[in-house]
Structure 1
Amino acid sequence: MRRIGLLFIAVALLGSVLHYPFSVQAAPPIATHAEAAALIDVQSGRLLFSRQGDKTMRVASLTKIMTAIVAIDHGRLSDQVKVSKSAYGKEGSSIYLKLGEEMSLKHLLYGMMLRSGNDAATAIAEHVGGSIDGFAYLMNEKARMIGMANTSFKNPHGLDEPEHYSTANDMAKLTAYALRNPVFQEIVKTKVKKAPNPNEAWDYTWFNKNKMLNLYEGSDGVKTGYTKLARRCLVSSATRNGQQLAVVTLNDPDDWSDHAKLLDYGFKHFPLADLIQKGEHVPGTQYVAGLRFSYPMLANERSQITTKIELHDANSVHSRLGEAGKLHYLLNGKDIGDVPLFIEGSSRLRLPDRSTFSFNETRQGEMTWPEKWLYILQFVVRDLFMGRTT
C-alpha cells in the first residue's frame, strides 16, 4: 500500500510542476576561450549567457553530474555496492577500487565526483541500473524529463563513445536541476573526503579536482572533465548574496579564468530582484503573497515586468485548502513564475517555504501521459522486485 501511495504522489507531482522560460535576454557582451559556454541562475533556471550553447559536443566526465543525480534519485545511499570485473580497472581516471571490494553508494558518489573515478561510475551504474545499458536508459529518461533536448548518454563516465554527447545549455540545465538536490550539493562542494578502505590500514582520502573551490570566493561545485577528443570541460558554481550561479564551458583551454569571469559577470549584471515578499499585500486585491518571489534581471528589465492573477474555482482542491489563486509574473510577456495567493491571515502562510520554481519538460521534449506512466511504472516494478526505493 505504501508503494501504491508513492506512485500516486509521483504522478501528482509530475502533473503539477511549473514551466518557466530557459532563454537568454539581451545583456552586455563578454568573450571566453570556450568553444561553447553557458551561464545559468540555479534557482530560477534562467539562462543568462550562452555561446554556441546548443552545439552538440563531447562532455567527458561532466557526464558524471547526470550519473550522480540519477543514482541519488533512484538508488539508496546506504547500499553496499560490489565492484565487478568491468568496474575494476576501468580505463581513465580512477579511485583504484579492488575487484570484489564493497563500498557504500554514498562513498562511491564522493569518489566519482571528487576524483572522477570511472571505476566508481561503472560500479554505481551497474548497481542502480542493473547494467550499463540499463543505467544509460535511466540517464536519458532523466534528461528528457528535465528538458535536455539535445543530449544522448551511452555510459556513466563520459569516455568518448559515438552518440554520447550534450550541449552547454543542456548541461547548464542539468546542473541547475542537480544543485537543487541537497545530497548532490553537499558532495560537489566537498574539498576533501575520507572513506573506509577495507584493503589497507588507512582510509581513502580524496581531494577534489575542482580548483574553483579554492580559486573563487563562494565557489560550491561542481565537476571537471577531460578526454583527448572533448578537451578541457568544466562546470562550476558559486553562491553570493543568496544567489547561486553555474557556468559550463566545453573545450576551453583557459577554463579556470573564464569561469571566474563569467561568474563575476552574472553576479554583476543579473542580481536577484525581489518582486514580492511572503505575506505582502497584492495592490488592488484582497490577497497576500504566499511566497517570496525573486528573479535574476538586468537593471533595465524591472520596467518590463507585468503581472496577472489567476483565481482558482471555488470548488477546486486548491480553494478548499485555502489557496485563492496564483499571481503570475511575466517578463516581456513571458511567464517566469508564480506565487500562491491567500486571504490575509490565512493559516497556510505559516507553512514552510518552498521554491517558486520547478523543473519541467520543455515544450519540444514533452512526454505524453502514457510515456510518463511507463516511466513511473518502471521504477515501481524495480522497487518491488529489486527491493530498492526510488
Structure 2
Amino acid sequence: MKTFKLFTLSLISFIFMNINFSSNALAKTPSPEVEGAGVVLMEATTGEVLFDKDMDKPLPPASTTKILTALITLEKRSLNQKVIIGKTPPTADGTALGLVEGEDVTVESLLNALLIGSCNDAAVALAENISGSVEEFSKLMNKRAKELGATNSNFVNPNGLYDKNHYTSARDLALIMREAIKNPKFLEISEKPFYIFKGTNKYDKDRWVNNRVSLLFEKNPLYYKEYIAGKTGYTVEAKHSFVSAAKKDNLTLVSAIVHTDNKNEYFKDAINLFNYGFDNFTISKLINKGDNLGNETLYETSIPLISREDFYYVKNKNLMDSPKIEINSKDLKKINFVKNDVISEATISLNNKVIGKLPLLSGEDKPKTIISTYNDKYNNLFYIIPGSILLVIILTFIIRFNKIKRKFLAKRRYKKFKRG
C-alpha cells in the first residue's frame, strides 16, 4: 500500500510538472489580429522584430513621415534657432497651422506644431530652413533613412502628402521611430496634450494645436499608461497609419500600423501589439562592455578577447533556451595590432538563429617573438648600412675633390709667380 501511494504521488507530481511545462510553452498573450497592409512590433534596444505582417511592403505613410522630419530637425538645428517663414510654407495643402510669410518663429515652436498638430506648413518651413528647399530636404531624408536601415523607402516631401513616389514600410517607420525616441525632446513633445503657438511679428493671435493620440489621455477609454510617443497619419490615398512606442520596466517597444481602413481600430490594435510584447518578452543583458569572452594564444602568450560593447537580447518568457556565444577565431600572426584594437568577433545565436555579432578587442599588445625582436632591432640596419656607405663615399669624394682643387690652385699660383 505504501509503495502504491508513493507511486501515485510520483505520478501526480510528474503530470503536474508536465502540465506546467506545457502551459509555459504557450504564449501568455496570443499573437494579435491586427488590421493594416503593413504591421510590425519591434523591440527598440536590439531592433528585433516580435511580430510582423507584410512589414517590408512599400506603402504611402501619410503624416507618419513627420517622424523623420522631426528627427532630422533635432539632429541639425538647435531648438531656439530662429526661422523666417518663406513664400512656400503658407501654400502647403492639408492640415496647417496658418503660417504667414515673414513670420519670425523658433525651431522648437515649429516642431511642436509638426508633431502635435501635424501641420504641413511647419514641415515645409523646417525643410526649407535646413536644406533650402523641399527637394533638397527629401534627399537628406532618404540619406538618413538608409543610414538607419530603412531600405524600402523613398521620400519626396517632409509632410507625407500623397505622391506615388513617396513611400515607406512598417519596418522602416519602426526603425525611424526607434531612433527618434532616443531624443528626450522628441519624447517631451510627443507626450504633450496640446501646444499654444504664441503670436508673432506677423500674426498677433495665439494658435492652438491638439494631440489626437487617444493612448495619451487618462480619461480616454484607450489610455495606455506605458505609451511614450506616437504619430498618426491620414490621406485619402494612404488611408490611416499609426506609429507609436511604449515602455514598461526596461523593455521599450515600437509598433507601426500602416495603410489601414478603420480609424477606430488602429489605437486598439497598437495596444494589443504592446500587450503581446510586454506579456511574452523581456530584454536581458548577456554581455557587459569590457567582459573577457575568451583568450587566444599567440607565441605562448595569452591574449584576452574583450567585448567592445554591451550586448542585449530579447528573451521569450515562455522559452528556457539561452544564447550561445561562438568566437570567430582569426590567425593573429597575420594581424598587426596593439591593445584595444578589434582582432576578432563573437557570434551570438539563440534557438539556432544568429541574433547578433559583437566586435572583440585585444586585451594586450601583440607579443614579439625572438625573430620579430631581432627584426625590430636590426631591421633599421637595412636602411642604416647603405646610408652610411653612401655618406662615406660622398665624404671621400669631397675630400679628394678638395685635394685636387688645392693642387690646381697651387699650380696656378706657381705659374703666375714664374711669369711675374
- The answer, yes or no, to whether TM exceeds 0.5 is yes
Q: Verify the 8 A CA contact 1:64 1:112 in the aligned structure 2.
A: yes
The match for 2:315 is 297
For 1:69-218, list aligned pairs within 5 A: 69-198=71-200, 199=202, 203-214=206-217, 215-218=223-226
The match for 1:355 is none
Report the alpha carbon displacement of residue 49 of structure 1 after superposing the two structures with TM: 0.9
Write the deviation string for residues 137-173 of structure 1: whole angstroms up to 9, x where unpaired: 1111112222222111111111111211111122112
Verify: 1:274 aligned to 2:274, yes or no.
Answer: no
Q: Verify the 8 A CA contact 2:340 2:362 in the aligned structure 1.
A: no
Which has the bigger relative contact order, CA under 8 A and spacing at least 6?
A: 1
2-side partners of 1:152 and 1:320: how far apart? 43
Verify: 1:233 aligned to 2:241, yes or no.
Answer: yes
Q: Aligned pair in 2 of structure 1 residues 191, 292: CA closer, same or farther (>3 Å)?
A: farther
Report the alpha carbon displacement of residue 178 of structure 1 after superposing the two structures with TM: 2.1
For 2:255, the aligned partner's letter is V
Name the SS for the 2:112 alignment partner. helix
Report the structure number with the largest CA radius of gyration.
Answer: 2
The match for 2:220 is none
Report the alpha carbon displacement of residue 243 of structure 1 after superposing the two structures with TM: 1.4
2-side partners of 1:143 and 1:289: how far apart? 29
1-side partners of 2:362 and 2:207: how far apart? 53
Q: Which segment is superposed worse, 207-216 or 71-80?
A: 71-80
The match for 1:251 is 259
TM-score (norm 2): 0.67
Verify: 1:320 aligned to 2:320, yes or no.
Answer: no
Write the deviation string for residues 1-21 of structure 1: whole angstroms up to 9, x where unpaired: xxxxxxxxxxxxxxxxxxxxx
Q: Aligned pair in 2 of structure 1 residues 291, 54: CA closer, same or farther (>3 Å)?
A: closer
Verify: 1:336 aligned to 2:348, yes or no.
Answer: no
- Give the total of aligned pairs: 319
Structure 1: tracts of 5 or more residues without a match: 1-25, 344-390
Name the SS for the 1:320 alignment partner. coil
Q: Verify the 8 A CA contact 1:289 1:342 in the aligned structure 2.
A: no
Aligned residues with identical type, % of pairs: 28
Aligned Cα root-mean-square deviation (Å): 3.1
Report the alpha carbon displacement of residue 300 of structure 1 after superposing the two structures with TM: 5.5
Write the deviation string for residues 343-374 of structure 1: whole angstroms up to 9, x where unpaired: 6xxxxxxxxxxxxxxxxxxxxxxxxxxxxxxx
Q: Verify the 8 A CA contact 2:309 2:358 in the aligned structure 1.
A: no
Write the deviation string for residues 10-68 of structure 1: whole angstroms up to 9, x where unpaired: xxxxxxxxxxxxxxxx9853211222211111111111111121222111001111111
Structure 2: tracts of 5 or more residues without a match: 1-25, 218-222, 297-303, 364-420
For 1:303, the aligned partner's letter is D
Write the deviation string for residues 106-138 of structure 1: whole angstroms up to 9, x where unpaired: 221111011000010011111111111111111
Report the alpha carbon displacement of residue 207 of structure 1 after superposing the two structures with TM: 2.9
2-side partners of 1:315 and 1:129: how far apart? 47
- Residue of 258, 261, 266 corresponding to 2:272: 261
The match for 2:231 is 223
